[in-house]
Each structure stands twice: as structure tokens, then as C-alpha cells.
Structure 1
């Protein structure tokens, strides 16, 4: 028995050390089948980091991901998105197309799939029996964070995966909430915090690759409630401040978590740093959100999760919107 346990431990060690785009899905499924929780967790964590940076370029492995597994990945607050929540929607479409098309091997890149399938909506329709199986994965999308951008809303309307009336209702609700939030000019109007569980379920997910430690600044252009932030990497520090170019002078209270991860050539984490969950009030001055170790190797995958905290004395309409937003995030009526 002791010898068998030793062999099992060695097997687990080998599997966790050899996770790659070609083994992650198989190891995850094997871990579940044989109750190797360490392997299951390691494979899942690898896929959270590499869904966009490895699977999006490997169609054979991407289509192996089951609906149940993809749903868990999409729902996770720790998913390292490529840019914004819209990137999650894009890779979901790619994954679904690859799974339902028998001629998937003809495609060599994402643009091939998009060009071939863009006028073929009847084959990817969440109302049809053939595509209903994908509903749980699309229901796990944080749809309000996609609808805040006009171009993305237009894409969703053209794709016709979601009922048009539902999209219009959610977009109108987001617009009303944005107007209400934009009228506030007092930073103290925002509550101090929300629970970690609420944050995990509702936070905006952003991502970026930092190629080297040189100084540069960037913005993620898709923003909620009139808030636009300027992010900067300089002197091993990542900072953020309000972007005043739009003429907005109010401060924003922000709950956030910033994480930087260095990967080896197989996509396995070599080093990671996290700010932990914090609450700050942002104005025109830069605020340091993460100080990087000088020895952490570049390039880095940067993941940012944040939630703009709502007014404590919000109206009933505002509260109703927030309650409905949570329901929509995790139970879209498709």
C-alpha cells in the first residue's frame, strides 16, 4: 500500500509539473476521474491563465474543453482575460463554432472562423437544440460589462445569440445607472466596501501583457459609470489615477485587485504578485496599486479586477438595478 501511495504521489507530481496546452484538459479530466484534486486544481489554474494566450491559437485543444469546464472558466473572477470582458465573449463564440462544425480542421486562425461563420447564425443559435448545450457557458458571461461599449452592443445585436429585448433592457438600465452615478460629485457618496463574494461575482475583469519593465501608460477604453482610469508602469510600480481628459472632476471609490504573473514557455506560473483586495479613493494623483519585485521576470500577464462602489444612499431604482444585475450576471434568461 505504501508503495502504491508513493507511485500515486509521483504520478501527481509528474502531471502537475508537465501541464501545457496539450495536456491541460486531459489532466483536468483525469484529476476528476481519479480524485487527484491537486492535479485538477493545477490544471484548472493553468487554464485560467492560458485560455486566451494558448488555447485561442490551438483549435484542437480549445474544442476539447467541455461545456461544464468552459462555464467554470468563464465564471471565475480569476480568469486572465486578454483585454476586456468582450474578449471572453469572442473566445466563447470561437469555441462553440469549433465544437459544432465538422469541418473545423480547415480553419487555421480566428479570422478564418469569423469570416466563414458570420453569416451562418442559424448554426449557432442558443434557442436551437443543436446549440442549447452552450447556454451555461454564455450565461456565465458578465454581460453588463460588455454592453457598456456601443460597438460591442452592436456586435451582440448582430450575432443574435441573445434575445434583442433582453439586451435593450439591460443597456437602458446601465445607461440610467451611468447618468445617476455621473451626477454625483462627492467622493464620500460611495460606500466603503462590499463583501469579497459580491466583488468576485460582479467585478470587471481586465487584462494586459507587460512586455518589459520600461515605463509606459495605457487605458482600457471600455469603462462603466463615466469612470476612465490611466494606468502606468514605472520604476517597478503599477499606478492608477483618474483620467481628467474628459473634464470629469469627481473622485471615484474603487475596490480592486491587481495581479502580475510571469509564465514559462509552457504557460506555467514562475512567479506571481498580487495586491490583494483593496479599497481606495481615486482622484487626479497617481496611486500605487502594486509594487513589483525587481527580480520578477518579464513579460508579465497583468490581470485587474475592479468594482466601482455604488452610493450608500442610492435610490430604490438604483438598488433594483443592482439586484437585477447580479441575477443577469449568473442566470441570463436566454
Structure 2
């Protein structure tokens, strides 16, 4: 189809090098303006619908002034309907998805993709009809149509469930502003149903902020909002990154992270598994018990099926699992983890235990982030209401019972030497030191953090029965349930009597 013919003459001379497409676009818009004037401000619509209305007269008989914004919207709508929907005075056709669009180069050139196509030495530069193949499977006919329409109207409705298709189309057509709109919609739409899709598509389309938002959502919610679809949606590389992070919100202790991985692995091995969330762990136990029976004792992570999951399970903080007898028995029974991983850890834990018990080492005096990264114990608790609550991690630090208390909107650490429920659960050293970090997090119904307090890493030094206020929330608006997550690290000093072969069995104070 040829170029659009202007219906009006213009005063003065146009620059010789002005693009013909620009002149055609102005003529098309002038045609719409003329139609509006001839119809008293009305613009023809599709069918019986009307875009504009005649101006109402004021009491004095003069036409009432129409706000500029309303006039601009009316004009934009008229352009959209006459030029895009009806294709009036089209100078180019686009074929895709077995559909045809009669369009205008001047509007298509608002896309850097088409601007480059029409201005360079490309095969399509002077063609009247262009066949387009979509390189991205996320692009569909509806998103392509909507995005072409955006070039005419500068507005588009993007529901969250369609945002990836629009984003993909905007990315192909190089529409940066539309991509930014998609990014803003994605930021406020992250939830258990969208997070994995948003994360991987953010990687594909270079949306760094969205990738971070999704990763933070998963760190906050993976352990407390599990369902089968979420676990299926987290691929190996992402799960490895999440399990390795000290920011993972662990409500419970490290064995709970292991249990989550066991369920996650089953869903990737058996993608068609269906059942209730409560039945998932039992199904995983049954699956791996049967495999153990038929594998002649080969640890699952050393088999052909299990080897791909090995790098993820290597991110578990196994020293904080095998130091607890019930947890150690689960690891031994499941036989997922090779003995070559566990044997050195048992030796290391034993040496650390006797060094803590038979020397006067108090623990770390300073915080070294290189030592903390990937090594701290992750644990936590849930507060269901604004009521006093406390819990104890018995023996977590080679005999140091630490009580965490929530009372009067304060979180307090207290060292207790009264609990003698198990053999080595209490240390009578007059003072102990440990590196700690405490976070308080509240999440809304979609999993978004509405409160986040983080102490950072500090050295905690407590005598027997001494307590320390760690976080004060008196001035905060609290939402429950609220989660208290802790990281702890006890690193014995390498120097001292025990390192020189000297006896360290001096009386405890």
C-alpha cells in the first residue's frame, strides 16, 4: 500500500530531509482532527460507540472549555480507533500469528526495533508487507496486538497474569518505557504463584531489581509457605543459592532445611506426584526407603539419579544437624548423604566439643565475615501474638543453653545454667562468647515483608544467668505472626594450652 496522502496544505516549506513517515503521520492525525471538527468534536467509533461528545454551551451561549487532559485523551482514543483498529490510510502491513495488522510507519518507529528496520539497509526497509516470526515463546498474539496498540495510544492495561507476555513483546520491540511499566507491576505482584516465573523471566530480560525482589521473597517464605507448585518451580541453581544463604528464614533448626530439600527432590524426580502438603514428606520417605532397599546401600546422592542434586545438598550446614541425636539418626536412616561427606564432620565436631569443654576458650572476640559466611547456625521461632514467649536451644553451642525471650515488645537473650535435661546441655564456664545476628520479620498475606529489623553480626558475651536486650520494638507497628530468626557461630581460638599439648583441666570458676 502506498504512502498516506495529506488532506491539507501546509504553509511554508518542509525540510528536505524530513522523513516521509513523519509527514504521513501528521497527515493522518490531521485527518482525525478534521473529522472531530466536522462532527462538532465527535470522533467516529467502531460500531455505534462514540469516542467524543459535542461541547456543551455555557449559559451565555459560548462553548464550554474542555480540559486539555480530556481533549488529549479523546484525541488519543480517536487516533487509536481510526488508525490502529480500523487501519485507515495504512502504509504498511504486519503479518504474524496468522493475523494481519494495517499500520503506519510513523507510529511503528516509536519502537526502536521498527525504527532500525525502516532506516537501515534491511530487506524490510522498503517493503509494504512484513512477515514477522516471534523468537520468544512468551510472546503471543494478544500481547503483540496490545503492544502494537500501545504505539498509537501510549497506554495499555497489564494485569499481573499477562505481564510476562507484555514484557517479552516490549523487550523484542525495544520499548524501554513499557518494560519499566511491566517491572513496576511485577514488583507489587510477587506472591507464591508468581515468584518463580517472575524470577526466571527477570533473568531473561535483565530486570535486576525484580530478580532481587523475588530472591528475597523466597528467602523469607521458602521454609514457611511451602506447597508443591512452589517447590517444583524452584530449579536446582536457584535452590542451591537459597540454601547457601545465611539470610534464609529458618523457623526451627537446620534439620528442617534438610527435610525441605528431601520433599523438593521428590517433586523433581516425580513431577506428576499429587497429594496434600501433609502427605508429601511421607511420600518422600517411602520413595527413598524403596530406593535404598534396591540400591545395595549406595547413598542416593552418589547414584545417577541423585548426583545432580548433590551441589544443593552440599549447601546444608551439616555440623548443626549431626550435633543433635534425633537429627543425626534421620540422616543415617535416609542414607541420602554419602559417608565421605559426614565422617570428616563427625571428627571435626568431636574435636571442637572437647576443645570447648577442656579448655578455657570463651569463643570469638571479633567478627570476621569470611568465617561467618556459610558457617553460621540458622534457627528461629514464630510469635503468634503479642504475648510473652520464650524458647531454648539446648546444647546448641557445645553445652551453652541460650534462652530467647519475647516480652513487652522486646527480644532478650538470657544465658541459663539451670537446665540439666541432657548430659552435656549445660556449660558452667563463667563466661561464653558467640557471634550472633538476630532478625525480626513480619509478612503480609502475600509474603511481602511489612517489618524487618536486623541487628547485624555482633559478639555476644554472657555470664551465667545474665541477659541482654537485643531488639526493642516498642515504637513499631507489629503484625502477627512475627518471625524471630537467629544466626549463631562459635569459633574456638586456635591458640591456647590445648594447642601446645599442655593440660587444660583447670578448675572452672
Query: TM-score with structure 1 length normalisation?
Result: 0.87
Which residue is 2:414 aligned to?
A: 241
Pair 1:13-2:184 in alignment: yes
Give the number of the structure whose alpha-carbon radius of gyration is greater. 2
Match among 445, 454, 458 for residue 278 of structure 1: 458
Structure 1 gaps of 5+ residues are 319-334
User: C-alpha distance in 1, partners of 2:500/2:444?
Assistant: 48
Contact 1:81/1:206 (8 A) holds in 2:
yes
Q: Per residue, is there more helix in 1 or in 2? A: 1
Summarize the Cα distance change of 1:177–1:309 in structure 2 as closer, same or farther, 3 Å threshold.
Answer: closer
Contact 1:84/1:222 (8 A) holds in 2:
no
User: C-alpha distance in 1, partners of 2:334/2:276?
Assistant: 20
* Corresponding residue SS for 2:478: coil
Pair 1:289-2:460 in alignment: no
Query: TM-score with structure 2 length normalisation?
Result: 0.58
1:191-213 Cα deviation digits (max 9, x unpaired): 31131232122111112111112
Contact 1:52/1:91 (8 A) holds in 2:
yes
Match among 293, 306, 315 for residue 131 of structure 1: 306
Summarize the Cα distance change of 1:294–1:99 in structure 2 as closer, same or farther, 3 Å threshold.
Answer: same
Structure 2 gaps of 5+ residues are 1-109, 112-153, 155-174, 421-425, 502-509
How big is the shift at 1:31? 0.7
Q: What do you get for the CA RMSD once the two structures are aligned?
A: 2.3
Matches within 5 A, 1:199-238: 199-221=372-394, 223-238=396-411
Greater CA deviation, 127-136 or 165-174? 165-174
Instruction: Report how many residues are paired.
Output: 314
Pair 1:121-2:291 in alignment: yes
Pair 1:192-2:362 in alignment: no
User: C-alpha distance in 1, partners of 2:382/2:262?
Assistant: 23
Pair 1:170-2:352 in alignment: no
1:159-183 Cα deviation digits (max 9, x unpaired): 1112235423422321221121022
Greater CA deviation, 79-88 or 173-182? 173-182
Summarize the Cα distance change of 1:200–1:317 in structure 2 as closer, same or farther, 3 Å threshold.
Answer: farther
Summarize the Cα distance change of 1:35–1:179 in structure 2 as closer, same or farther, 3 Å threshold.
Answer: same
Which residue is 1:329 aligned to?
A: none
Matches within 5 A, 1:1-334: 4-55=175-226, 58-109=227-278, 110-114=280-284, 116-122=286-292, 125-164=300-339, 166-185=341-360, 187=362, 190-221=363-394, 223-245=396-418, 246=420, 248-250=427-429, 251-283=431-463, 284-292=465-473, 293-311=475-493, 313-314=495-496
